Structure 1
């Protein structure tokens, strides 16, 4: 086995050949610092832990494609970053999630005013997209995401079926996710984490 903390070309060769002990060693070397890195982005322990597991599943599944051992560090952290940003993109259409980020100080305590400006731009963009939704979708979205009502409660309030409520939410979220410019939030997170 390699000296602790030292990833060698031989270790990577063993990983590429499906050696589970080599994989375990790499996991042991990276899992804690990877968790810290992801937690800075997501501010959620359970989600950060899930992403760490996903990263190592991805590494195992693509072990035969791992090249230069000196690039392993950036490869692992790039996968982690991409998974984290992907999770944020899935949740970004929710105003509640934007507020969660704000309260978690991801943007508020950033070292420059740029992040707050970008956060405000992103919030405005979400509001603008919501205003473009068809009236019924807008109504359902508002009742569910902003008032916290369940699909059943919304169905009773609007006199429609629970399935119809669900369909409206699915369409609304699909529209929002497909049209939002998440690069604003990605830039803000980058400023917070690295500058």
Structure 2
């Protein structure tokens, strides 16, 4: 169903377009790839019903975009495996070694699982702070909880993630 009005999520995406592109450019290392991921995010959000309940629209949009970015990185790594075999043995690449890319992606998957295991409110606070860059006071105001509770949620989330990734950390 196509309507003339944008859904609230699409409206939020257009408001935070520049922030999202900057975030994804840091993650992907390419502004062009970041813009592609934002376009894919727009297309994915376009298929959601306008009345889809989302507690934190900006965090939700960033999460969708991050998931698409991870898929993009996986796709690029897969393509790189096939194309690098055709390169001359002494030809230098501008990319990190494939084993490093795979290692970092595996670490990212473990971290994503750890974040998904958090209680809903704790995960929401953590994502708002780490991915949206909101301060403790901004989160407290938006969620109607105390600053102290925000700090407790963030500390709990960090501790949980550290425990899950203990084997990977030096």
Where relative contact order (Cα < 8 A, 6+ residues apart) is larger, the structure is: 1
Provide the TM-score with structure 1 as the length reference: 0.37
Instruction: Flag the structure with larger Rg.
Output: 1
TM-score (norm 2): 0.43
Bigger share in helix: 1
